[in-house]
Amino acid sequence: MPQFLYRIQPTRTEMLSDGPTPQEAEIVSQHFAYLQRLTENGIVILAGRTLNVDETAFGIIIFNASDEAAAHQIMESDPAVQQGVMRASLFPYRIALLAEENSRTQ
């Protein structure tokens, strides 16, 4: 199955440095639950974020989708993207190497 990557970045950088508003916190919680469900269903392969808190901060989600249209739907259905807390960009992607020890949750 084809793989894709979407990169997300907060639309309000201060959310990372000063903390989220209550509304942002709720949406980020929905975002995490969404990615957890996709992971449990074998769609998401990897999700994570950089630990810096400036404008260069970003997260990535590597996932399986049947085609680019389905990949766009997955990305656009992310509550953080849908509700404007994060902006997202989609890329076709292929994992070339994956160490067995890194395939488990850290």
Residue-wise pLDDT tens digits, 36-53:
999 999 999 999 999 999
Reported residue count of the chain is: 106
What gap in Å lies between CA 87 and CA 20, rounded to an integer? 16
Domains of the chain: 3-98 (3.30.70.1060)
User: What is the CA angle 88-89-94, rounded to 5?
Assistant: 125
- pLDDT tens digits along 7-30: 999 999 999 999 999 999 999 999
- pTM attached to this predicted model: 0.91
